[in-house]
A and B are shown apart, each in its own frame.
Chain A
Amino acid sequence: MGQQIVNGLFLGSIYALFALGYTLVFGVLDILNLAHQAVFMLCAYVALALVVHLHLPMPIAFPLAVVAGGLLGVVVDRLAFRPLRGRSDSNISGLISSIALATILEALALQFFGPDVERFPFGIVPDRSLRLGDAVISELQLVIIGIAVSMLAVLTWVLRRTTLGRRIRAVAENPVAARVLGVNVDRVIASSFFVSSALGGAAGVLFGLAFNSVSPDMGRTVELKGLAVIILGGMGSMPGAAIAGFALGLLEVFTVAKIGSSYRDAVAFGVLFLVLVVRPRGLLGPAALREA
């Protein structure tokens, strides 16, 4: 029982980390970036390459990979979204072009790294663990949960209290009005992509470390779950995404424990469906839907 709560919180923190970046551009800016999972995957490979080939220790490789993720996010924006911005159908065409970019990035990863699952070298992170009653929690798991919670706090603060946050919210509300008021819309969106993809990249590296597996298709598992978490939490709500991430993690784990693993995704998405029907704005979504 105790162990399953630990398992659920840990899995949930991975979902939350992935969804935080996802929801920054989707929930706030209304851009669904389906290349997010490719950034997630590529950052894990960047960290792996830094550790294996340049023999960098993890505390240095991790921030470097996160910055690489941010830069990659800017590239994704430039290639897949910016050329289409301002068109009447830019939401759908951007969605499609981001799928295209994700596919291309995945194919490149397949070409460079091969289809085999790779893992970080043994002992790259300390292999210590803590016992809480009958539950075991590793130091890495604690660090990951900690990072997820602190990222949430930082992001909420950035969005609510900083100039960049105000600009992002202004662009989200009305890009034309924001532009009239002197906000460089393209730049704000690019910064959002940087932050979003840096978070996605961080999630990718931690995922690869936590589950000892880095492969070109690793982003696929989390992609749909991340989307579910955003909707469950309420579009654009950072705390909502985090709470929903942990809730989904716990829900999945307890479905496995109490009902059976074959029903895990059915129960998780069934609950998502119910939430959409009963409470369309999600757990912490804005009370009134924004006008289109």
Chain B
Amino acid sequence: MRLVSCSVAAAIALLAHPAAAAETVKIGAVFSLTGNAAAYGAQQKAGVALAADEINKSGKLPGITLEVVLEDDGTSPQQGISVFDRLINMNKVSAIIGPTLSTLAEAADPRAQAQKTPVVAVSNTKPNAITTIGDYIWRVSLTEAQVIPSAVDIARKKLGFKTAAILYGNDDAFTKAGFDVMKSSLEKAGVQILGIQTFSTKDRDFNAQLTALKGLKPDVLLVSALVEQAGSIAVQARQLGYTGPIMGGNGFNSTKFIQLAGPAAEGVLVGTAWNRASLDPVNQAFIAAMKARGVDPDQFGAQAYTGVLVIADAIRQAGLKGGRDDIKAGFAKVKDLPTPLGKFSFLPSRDGDHPAAVQIVKSGKFEILE
């Protein structure tokens, strides 16, 4: 019955838009399929392919077929730029999803901006960057500045902490930015900050700082550090007998952290953009569909999948038109779109806006804190 109504709808659409009947909208997908970031690229490729297939089968875009043109940026800015040029000028794609890393996006996105080709960043998290390249650059992935405030809020509701201490690297832009966000989110949430200590990126000994902070007896210890130091900090904090919760910035959001910290990683909290455990039917369907294709989805897969949904919705919002400027105009109208990441909208800054979640390390694995 559903099939019949679908095909009827499709037939009506065909009659109504005879010219658009055979329209194929090409979407470029640029991911790091080889090189350092290849682990992320594989997830992103699977997420994009699944989303395009589902949209084409669903008839959500009557008269339009999405065609994904997949390219490998080799985790190299030079290759990223040449792949962007090829997609924009030779393949004439309507929009580009990617590239995987922020550094590559900063190199390649200006090419798309210059040629007025919309880009959807699905994994770039550098705050106050990427979307600042121009009005054709949009972002699905939440930045550090967006994840930490919600993560602090969620953790505070679960753990009920009233006081906190912060340890951060003060000579690195990323960890310093993370600290600024942590401090302001704690203040906003009414959590009293008992003490703040710093370290430098070359430090390996954090005993003095941790002892000083432990002596203040905070309810929670927040740490903004790169993954190399995150592991040592967790180990040393536990060795000194600190038993309270530890909450890390995005630097902790890596299995490398668990590997370096070992048993000391247990119970550590980290914010994340994708709530894997969300019972939202869109999320559940996404996980099931990815698993059916033999892929165990992670945050990168979910964000890439959402990137295609966002483009499809932009095409719909633009009146089923798949030109470059139609899609760009459509992005602005995307509002509360159901995705595996939750209800998705764009902020005026063209950065994505959706709920974040908190992960906790349990038996050597990240799990969603529920």
Which one, A3-11, A45-53, A81-89, A154-162, is touching chain B? A3-11
Cross-chain contact A136 with B239 (CB below 8 angstroms): yes
Query: Chain A contacts of B263 at CB under 8 A?
Result: 122
A166 at the binding interface (Cβ < 8 Å): no
User: Is residue B266 contacting chain A, with contact meaning CB distance below 8 A?
Assistant: no
B-contacting residues, A188-240, CB 8 Å:
207, 210-213, 215, 217-218, 220-221
**B192 contacts the other chain (CB 8 A):** no
Residue from the list A207, A220, A257 in contact with B208, Cβ < 8 A: A257
Q: Are B232 and A211 in contact (CB under 8 A)?
A: yes
User: Would B202 and A217 count as touching, CB distance under 8 A?
Assistant: yes
- In the assembled complex, which residues on chain B have CB atoms less than 8 Å from the CB atom of A4? 208, 211-212
- Closest approach, in angstroms, between the C-beta of A38 and any C-beta of chain B? 15
| B278 located at the interface, meaning its Cβ lies under 8 Å from any Cβ of chain A in the complex | no
Chain A interface size range: 20 to 34
Selected from B202, B231, B232, the residue in CB contact (under 8 A) with A221 is: B202
For the complex, what is the distance from the CA of A129 to the CA of B231, rounded to whole Å? 20
Q: Is the CB of A253 within 8 A of B208?
A: yes
Q: Check B260 for interface membership: any CB of A closer than 8 A.
A: yes
Interface: A77 (CB within 8 A): no
Does B277 belong to the interface (CB within 8 Å)? no
Is A262 part of the binding interface, using a Cβ–Cβ cutoff of 8 Å?
yes
Supply 14 A–B pairs (Cβ within 8 Å), ascending by A. Answer: A3-B215, A7-B207, A119-B260, A122-B263, A136-B240, A210-B205, A213-B228, A213-B229, A220-B202, A252-B208, A257-B212, A261-B198, A261-B208, A264-B208
Q: A220-B202, A260-B197, A261-B209 are in contact. Are A3 and B240 (CB under 8 A)?
A: yes
B63 to chain A, nearest CB (A): 50
B174: interface (CB < 8 Å): no
Interface string of B213-239 (1 = CB under 8 A from A): 001000000000001110110011001
Given the complex, which residues of B lie within 8 Å of A136, measured CB to CB? 239-241
Alpha-carbon distance A117/B227, docked complex (angstroms)? 9
Check: B256 CB closer than 8 A to any chain A CB: yes
Those of A239-255 within 8 Å (CB) of chain B: 252-253
- Contact of B17 with A by CB under 8 A: no
- Nearest neighbor of B203 in chain A, beta-carbon distance: A221
Q: Is the CB of B228 within 8 A of A11?
A: no
Complex-state Cα separation, A136 to B215, whole angstroms: 13
B170 nearest CB across to chain A (Å): 6
The 4 closest A-B pairs by CB, nearest first: A211-B204, A256-B208, A117-B228, A7-B207
Measured between beta carbons, the chain B residues less than 8 angstroms from A207 are 204
Count A-B pairs with CB separation below 8 Å.
76
Per-residue interface assignment for chain A, residues 249 to 283, with 1 indicating a CB less than 8 Å from any chain B CB and 0 otherwise = 00011001100111011000000000000000000
Among A252, A256, A262, the one with the most B-chain Cβ atoms within 10 Å of its Cβ is A256
A117-B260, A122-B262, A136-B239 are known contacts. Are A11 and B205 too (CB-CB below 8 A)?
A: yes
Interface residues of B, Cβ cutoff 8 Å to A:
170, 197-200, 202-205, 207-209, 211-212, 215, 227-229, 231-232, 235-236, 239-241, 256, 259-260, 262-263
**Contact: B204 with A129, CB < 8 Å?**
no
Closest to B167 in A: A261
Closest partner residue, chain B, to A255 (CB atom): B208
Q: Which of B211, B231, B235 contacts A3 (CB 8 A)?
A: B211
**Interchain CA distance A253-B205 in the complex, whole Å:** 10
The answer on a CB contact under 8 Å between B199 and A117 is no
Asked if A138 CB lies within 8 Å of chain B CBs, one says: yes
Instruction: Determine if A129 and B212 form an interchain contact, defined as CB atoms under 8 angstroms apart.
Output: no
- How distant is the Cα of A25 from the Cα of B204 in the complex, in angstroms? 26
Assess the A257–B205 pair: CB atoms within 8 A.
Answer: no
The interface residues of chain B lying within 8 Å CB-to-CB of A291 are: none
Determine the distance from Cα of A267 to Cα of B263 in the docked complex, in whole angstroms.
35
Q: Which residues of the other chain, A, contact B235 by a CB distance below 8 angstroms?
A: 212
Q: How far is the CA of A129 from the CA of B235 in the complex (A)?
A: 14
Knowing that A11-B208, A213-B229, A264-B208 are A-B contacts, what are 18 other residue pairs whose CB atoms are under 8 Å apart, sorted by A's residue number? A3-B240, A14-B205, A119-B259, A119-B260, A122-B263, A129-B239, A136-B239, A136-B241, A207-B204, A213-B204, A213-B228, A213-B260, A218-B204, A220-B202, A252-B208, A253-B207, A257-B211, A265-B200
How would residues 168 to 192 of chain A score, 1 for a CB under 8 Å from any chain B CB and 0 otherwise?
A: 0000000000000000000000000
- Bound Cα distance from A11 to B210, whole angstroms: 14
Q: Flag A115-131 by CB within 8 Å of B: 1 or 0 each.
A: 01101001000000100
| Nearest chain A residue, comparing its CB with the CB of B226 | A117
B205–A8 CB distance below 8 A: no
- A8 contacts which chain B residues (CB < 8 A)? 208
A221 to B232, CA, bound (A): 15
CB distance from B118 to the nearest CB of A (A): 35
A10: nearest chain-B partner, CB-CB: B207
Q: In angstroms, how far is the closest chain B Cβ from the Cβ of A185? A: 37
Q: Which of A117, A256, A262 is close to B231, meaning CB atoms less than 8 Å apart?
A: A117
Looking at the assembled complex, report how far the CB atom of B256 sits from the nearest CB atom of chain A, in whole angstroms: 7
Least CB distance from B368 to A in Å reads: 26
Once the chains bind, are B212 and A11 in contact (CB under 8 Å)? no
Are the CB atoms of B212 and A116 closer together than 8 Å?
A: no
The chain A residue with its CB closest to the CB of B206 is A211
One of B203, B212, B231 near A119 (C-beta < 8 A): B231
Q: Which residues of chain A come closer than 8 Å to B199, judged between CB atoms?
A: 261
* Cα distance, A253 to B207, chains bound together (Å): 8
Cβ–Cβ < 8 Å partners of A138 in chain B: 239
| Contact (Cβ within 8 A) A7 B211 | yes
- Chain A residues within 8 Å of B236, by CB: 211
Q: How far is the CA of A135 from the CA of B274 in the complex (A)?
A: 41
- Chain B contacts for A256, CB-based, 8 A: 197, 208-209, 212
Which of these, B202, B203, B208, B260, contacts A212 with CB under 8 Å?
B260
- Residues on B with C-beta less than 8 A from A221 are 202-204
B262 contacts which chain A residues (CB < 8 A)? 122
CB pair A262–B198 under 8 Å, yes or no, is yes
The interface residues of chain A lying within 8 Å CB-to-CB of B211 are: 3-4, 7, 257
CA separation between A116 and B198, bound complex, in Å? Answer: 22
Nearest CB in chain A: distance from B207 CB, A: 4
